[in-house]
């Protein structure tokens, strides 16, 4: 079985990798590229801990093959901050205690960023339904939802 050569862009960096045909994008990110910020909570697309965007579209990286990233633009949690400058969502998650154990946090941040790119002023209900594919078992979502709404406010004020 020969490996597949893939050329892609990850967090703005041109990236090449070899992968097996059956390897998921999540496996490639974690095991071949050392980008372990994306987590595997289920491997079946139910928990959202592996959320990344591919060409701007929010996906569960456990449900996509690594080979499918050919020519695509992949964004992961590792690309969310600009150097030392946290993304407003990252900052509000800290300010509002929007995390406890932190395992779901990368996926939720990636998903929430994707929401705010589409809808800069989401209602609480819209935040809750957008994040319904991201499981958090610690927080009861209360502080997460507040953090997302606060980031939306901050970003609107800054723009």
Return residues touching other proteins (CB under 8 A). 20, 22, 30, 35-44, 46-47, 49, 76-78, 80-81, 86, 90, 93-97, 99-106, 109, 124-125, 127-129, 131-146
Instruction: Report the residue number, 120 or 140, with the smaller CB distance to other proteins.
Output: 140
Q: Which among 73, 74, 26, 22 has a CA at the least distance from the CA of 48?
A: 26
CB of 108 to other proteins, least distance (A): 9
> 95 phi and psi, to 5 degrees?
-65, -35
Instruction: Report the residue number, 7 or 138, with the smaller CB distance to other proteins.
Output: 138
CB of 155 to other proteins, least distance (A): 16
Say if CB 15 and CB 34 are below 8 A apart: no
Strand partners, 51: 60
**Helix or strand holding residue 19 (H, E):** strand 13-19
């Amino acid at each position: 079985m020969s490996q597949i050569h893939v050329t892609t862009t990850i967090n703005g960096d041109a990236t090449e990798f070899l992968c097996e045909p059956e390897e998921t994008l999540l496996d490639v990110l974690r095991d071949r590229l050392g980008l372990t910020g994306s987590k595997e909570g289920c491997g079946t697309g139910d928990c959202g801990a592996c959320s990344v965007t591919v060409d701007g579209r929010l996906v569960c990286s456990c449900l996509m093959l690594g080979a499918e990233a050919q020519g695509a633009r992949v964004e992961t949690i590792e690309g969310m901050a600009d150097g030392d400058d946290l993304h407003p969502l990252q900052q509000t998650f800290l300010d509002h205690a929007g995390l406890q154990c932190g395992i779901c946090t990368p996926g939720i941040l990636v998903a929430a960023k994707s929401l705010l790119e589409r809808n800069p002023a989401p209602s609480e209900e819209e935040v809750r339904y957008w994040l319904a594919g991201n499981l958090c078992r610690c927080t009861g979502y209360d502080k997460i939802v507040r953090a997302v709404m606060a980031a939306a406010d901050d970003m609107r004020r800054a723009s």
